Structure 1
């Protein structure tokens, strides 16, 4: 995160009434941003004012109002203000269960993923912004929102996705996937680099180098990000902060509070209030 004098991060989260698998987000950034991180959801980002410096598809890019940002689960990305100028944006977080229903009903059960992190189409971006804005200010009915959103998402996947075909993974890719599975299964534990490398039966220095090469972040950062994602899910469901702390592997509430605010921009308590 950048720390300058005129720092602004004004955020709002909400769930449309129609579906528990969708979270909407509105934010205003100025001299503020988030370093490389991952989400467990499919994420769609839309800039409706200003421009953004971003890390997408393994590269630094400058994005504007014509861009629809499309991030798959577990894909590393980052966002910062450009030239210390602010920007405003909406985000749509779609849980894998929601995408699974789209696959079943509209894509013949083919597993979908976004083929590119950026889909440049100003008309399409404006269309999605209007759909979210109408839901935010309740100018459309729930059924209108759901129909428009599903129809537009289907169109987005048709234009910026591929069916996930079986591929032959390299031994290094398999190793990284095994490491991720091990970390996700043991988020509640105080894992060390030795714990993970011993599970893979390789040198911890070799593992560290490979992981950063493949994911653009360190194993420690990945582990912390996954704990934050798990905490967000628990808080959305109304779980207490104390239970969330220990369920997700944090030492105490102060540790959760510090890490959560660094990655989300809000305290766990303030984040929880948006959903309960």
Structure 2
């Protein structure tokens, strides 16, 4: 498999810009960051990321506390891999792009980042984690069924995404991006499907989570964050 490498770190709040002679995949694990690729800027939230081909200059900055995972793909490929293997993975970097991980891949990225932080000096592990994430994201992006799901809302998958992020601020544009819809399209289709606005739905989910944790006897400081975010959901 392709000899990529990976790392987990935080971006500084001071903006920086550079380019490099290798492809790079970036996934936001926690917090928010600003990225600009060839003049196309976007604020990335938890579970979002970008594809950076080697020829594209880019700028970035952390927005408060943040944590990202990066996977670097060298050019040309290192020894020990075939041209065919390299060609398959390198197609992911044909052009710069922003993306939203599905809930399953968010869990995968979180698990891989945990291993990298546990064993930061293990180069074999870094390559294995990088290869795994590259391949999984390549399948998601190339999967036409995933890209076409905006034709109908999959509430079950949305619920999975919401459950993963209830302890954070969930933005409506994140949910819209997850369904490959504009915010206005998502708002209209969601209300037609559920009978409530996305904001109302998120409020209900947070209240249900808080009530469940309270019934389980969980101390308030462990679940109060769910309620606090009720007033902050856009």
Normalising by the residue count of structure 1, what TM-score does the alignment of the two structures yield?
A: 0.40
Greater relative contact order: 1 or 2 (C-alpha under 8 angstroms, separation 6 or more)? 2
